[in-house]
Structure 1
Amino acid sequence: MTQRMTDDLVALFEKAEHEGRCMLVRSDTQRKALLRRRDADQSDAERLAPSVYARISHLDDLSPRASAFQLIRALALKHPEWVFCGLSAAILHGLYVSYSDIRPQGKLVVHVMGSKRRAEYDRFIVQPHRPPPYQARIVRVQEAQATDELATAVACARTLPFPKALAIMDSLLRFSSTDRERALRELERVGAHARGVAVTQRAILHANGASENGGESIARGIMIEEGFQEPELQVPIYNALDDEDYYVDFVWHLSDGSMVFGEFDGGEKFSSEEMRDGKSVSEVARDERLRESRLTLHGTPVLRFTPRMLNDRAGFVRLLNAYGVPRNQS
């Protein structure tokens, strides 16, 4: 190998490391150069699958969703004939997928139509799927073949409990031009007696593109299942002191004309530098306290909850009851 080829390969791998990407090594010459560089630098480059390498420290710095995305793209380059489906296609399309479903039992599952057999590696599993009995629509997204966005969302919702099915349908409406009618027509293609159709239909009928993230959607799904009235989402509340609107995640209107505000405290507003917009964690926390003081200025209670609270359904229901969130009339 010439020095120029070696330098080009090093530059390519450094770029992949910087982006947290998996790298597809296409030849034995590239593989040997990569291993020499790894040994010389004492880096933690690791083979994830035949011809697929990544620097593990960089990959582990990514969220489960981002690291899954990078691995799926590398596998798509290695196997251009594969068609990604289910939750793997949802990741490619940018639809909501919970971390627990990305890595069930701690290992990523890659869902593929076109792979002949199940294959298990140290960090992931390739799970083959048969094509559906109806014609699957295939699109190209993120340099990979995948089932189209609408079919993917419906297929995923059919395998999930109602709150998570609602979350993926909310994200479909939020990030695409699809509406409920199109989603219901897609569900009809599946057949009335197929697995998960009733749950998926309910999720479509309750779906709302105003939901900003999966946590908010899952919370609303629990509220619906437990018989609480559905809140309004992302409601502007005018604050005269600052002469601006504050958008509240949830608003319930009570029979006496008063309201209850609900705020989902997802961890990203503190952990994500992009969401902090240059502010420190303490500054974000200070702004949140200031915002809540404005919202409660006229005596409106603010119900705050975290993702962890959603894992304790009975406790979450007690919280909703304590704040007087109204229930549907039976």
Structure 2
Amino acid sequence: MSGLRRATQEKLDHILDEAECYRALALACEDEARAFRRRCENGSIVSPAHGAFARTIYWESLNPREKALHIIRAEAARHPSWIFRSHCAALIWGLDVPYPLLDTTSIIAARPPRPCIIAARRPSPRDEIESVDGIKVTSFWQTVSECLREAPFSYGLAIADSALRRTNQTRVNLMSHLEKTRGYPGIRQARFIASYADGRSENGGESRVRAFFIAHGYPIPELQVDLPNPIEPARPFRVDYYWELSHLLRIAGEFDGKQKYQDPAMLRDKTIVDSLIEERQRESRLTLLGLPVLRFTYEDLSQPARLDKLLKASGISPDRDAAQRWRDQWRAVTHTRY
């Protein structure tokens, strides 16, 4: 490698290293961008947004949430006047935004008149603008309101639950915050979603499964219930869902997201194998209480027929009239402007 090529490579590596430290895409001037684009041809570099780059191996290690945040941070650095809102702002505020809402191409392409994603224009007089880590965003509760006014029920419930969990507030508090956006398009939908919000839900997957129970007329379980540990009484078991349908039929439910087997903070210095073994031991002890344990995954959410079969096979039956009432109410709040 010639001295010039080596110097160019060192410069590009330095730019990429700094971007990775900031958890953003690397921005480059025209000369550097040309050099990056040449490396895109051999696959070592990717360009998820125009004029913004990342090492391929680094980019592919990111989940959709992290990819969206990398793009947002890069665009915020490139356009300091932009105001991020709706699902983008929710990400910046640390809320649980379901992956299907994180279409990174919509973030890249967003321009007025699509202010629900990114606003490059001046904010309206009613907008509340704050700064989070140097990025301009709509205020926390304005962001929550925008998301609930736009999102499908299960996605909105995940965001609403995480807002309550993050702020340690109640459903009543959420309703009060929504009153500040009275008269906005979609506010009836937002109130409807908020009426089911529960901050005890620990992640978006749990919220979306609960949304399925609600929409399909299944009994709504208690959340995050402590059950006795027959082997170690001082360490009770906590389950995500708990149904007590009769004195003879009690069922526990758990949502299995990949995060608890991939996130170092959740593994707490354990290996994935250790975590899996611990989970199996925990479940085997729950069976000593005579409790069947239902396990739900993100894959189940994409196959509602499978979820139906699982619940019915466990003795949990839907109330068809309740499901129809829910559908009628949802139709009423989504087919009106206010």
- State the alpha-carbon separation in 1 of the partners of residues 50 and 257 from structure 2: 37
Q: Residue in 2 aligned with 1:69?
A: 69
Q: Which residue number corresponds to residue 121 of structure 1?
A: none
Name the counterpart of 2:232: 242
Deviates more, 1:83-92 or 1:254-263: 254-263
Residue number among 6, 13, 16 corresponding to 1:13 in the alignment: 16
SS in structure 2 at match of 1:109: helix
Matches of 2:12 and 2:173, distance apart in 1: 47
After superposition, the C-alpha distances for 1:211-244 in whole angstroms (9 at most, x for unaligned) are 1111100011111111222211111112031231
Over 3 Å counting, the alpha-carbon distance change for 1:261 and 1:218 in structure 2 is same
Partner Cα separation in structure 1 for residue 184 and residue 129 of structure 2: 24
The question of 1:143 aligning with 2:134 is answered yes
Counterparts of 1:69 and 1:190, CA distance in 2 = 27
1:22 corresponds, among 12, 21, 25, to: 25
Q: 1:171·1:213 contact (CA, 8 Å) conserved in 2?
A: yes
Please list, as runs of the form range in 1=range in 2, the aligned pairs for 1:150-229 lying within 5 A after superposition.
150-192=141-183, 194-195=185-186, 197-229=187-219
- Give 5+ residue unaligned stretches, structure 1: 119-125
CA spacing shift, 1:238–1:169, aligned 2, 3 Å: same
The 1:51–1:193 alpha-carbon spacing in structure 2 relative to 1, beyond 3 Å, is: closer
* Structure 1 residue aligned with 2:270: 279
Alignment-mate amino acid for residue 55 of structure 1:
R
**Corresponding letter in the other structure for 1:228:** Y
Amino acid at match of 1:110: I
When residues 19 and 297 of structure 1 are mapped into structure 2, their CA distance, relative to the original with a 3 A threshold, is farther
Q: Is the partner of 2:87 in helix, strand or coil?
A: helix
More helix by share: 2
Quick one: which of 222, 243, 246 aligns to 1:232?
Answer: 222
Q: What is the SS of the residue equivalent to 1:206?
A: coil
SS in 1 for 2:198: coil
| 300 and 117 in structure 1: CA distance in 2 versus 1, 3 angstrom threshold | closer
Which amino acid is the alignment partner of residue 77 of structure 1? A
Match of 2:80 in 1: 80
Q: Measure, in 2, the Cα distance between the counterparts of 1:135 and 1:129.
A: 16
Uncovered stretches (5+) of structure 2, i.e. residues with no partner: 323-338
Q: CA shift at 1:316, angstroms?
A: 1.2
Corresponding position: 1:93 with 2:84: no
Higher relative contact order (CA 8 A, sep 6+): 2
Aligned residues with identical type, % of pairs: 33
Following TM superposition, by how much is the alpha carbon of 1:109 offset from its aligned partner in structure 2, in angstroms?
A: 1.9
- Residue identity in the other structure for 2:176: R
> Is 1:110–2:107 an aligned residue pair?
yes
Distance 2:77 2:18 in 1: 17
State the Cα distance separating 1:9 from its structure 2 match.
Answer: 6.9
Asked if the contact 2:168–2:199 (Cα under 8 Å) also holds between the matched residues in 1, the reply is no
CA RMSD of aligned residues (A): 3.4
Does residue 290 of the first structure (1) align with residue 287 of the second (2)?
A: no
Range 271-280 or range 209-218, more displaced: 271-280
Find 1:306's aligned residue among 290, 297, 313.
297
Residue correspondences, number:
314
- In the TM superposition, what is the alpha-carbon distance from 1:56 to its structure 2 partner? 3.1
- TM-score in terms of structure 1 length: 0.81
3-state SS in 2 of match to 1:324: coil
Distance 1:35 1:319, change over 3 A: closer
The residue type equivalent to 2:60 in the other structure is D
- The structure carrying a bigger strand percent of its residues is 1
